[in-house]
Amino acid sequence: MTLVQGRAAVVTGAARGIGRAIAAKLVEHGARVVLADLDADAAAATAAELGGDGTAVAVGCDVTDPDGVDALVRRCVDEFGALDVLVNNAGITRDATMRKMPLDAFREVIDVHLTGTWLGTKAASAVMREQGHGAIVNISSISGKVGNLGQTNYSAAKAGIVGLTKAAAKEVAHAGVRINAVQPGIIRTAMTEAMREDVWEAKLAEVPMGRAGEPEEVADVVLFLASDLSSYLTGTVTEVTGGRYM
């Protein structure tokens, strides 16, 4: 199966978790991928596991730094001759109730998720417009649909990604560039598995399918949106939640 054979992709936050699964899925289906992560060493280790130079390369990148994001996009073009797919996945959490959350914790999460996604979308779409084609996939969260207690920063950022996706998609659709968003629910990663057992079980109880999702299941949806199978989709939001909050 080679749904993105020969295409060049960038995935941010790609060293581990959902980002790693997305990068691995794109490589599996024939893409050459630049794995970007604030942890450059972890990104390099993951890139080596996925095939190393010629298939997967690693770049240390702070997605809140405009120059760093521009350099990331240039690296993909210089390395692979094009930029066909961008997945804005990088993110952090700084959870606290609104009463206890310091302003810095709110701004930091907004900056990484929302500003980082805007910078990536802006830089990538500039290249893709010149090419006449490209697909951008922005990773939101079901928290951006319903809001999570203790996550006013995260929920606001993830909701903002939806609005950004729709507005940007309207700006570049005429140039052959598609922009879509994915909203994962509870996905089995190291971060979610660190939850207290009672919290984990309470969240699972809200899922009609009765289980957590796997990172690969999010990656499958991203692959679909990056491929020609979704050639008439732009500005959409796909929930990968097992039916939670439908």
Q: Is residue 154 annotated as part of the catalytic site, yes or no?
A: yes
The residue annotated as part of the active site, out of 22, 82, 154, 212, is 154
Bridge-based pairing of strands 8-12 and 32-37 is parallel
Distances (CA, A) of 154 to 49, 107, 116, 148, 246: 31, 10, 13, 8, 20
3-state SS track over 134-168? EEEEEECCCHHHHCCCCEHHHHHHHHHHHHHHHHH
As a whole number of angstroms, the distance between CA 158 and CA 109 comes to 10
* Residues forming a β-bridge with 96: 151
**What is the enclosing helix (H) or strand (E) of 219?**
helix 215-226
Cα→Cα distances 242→60, 208, 222, Å = 33, 6, 16
C-beta separation of 244 from 142 below 8 A = yes
> Which positions are catalytic?
154
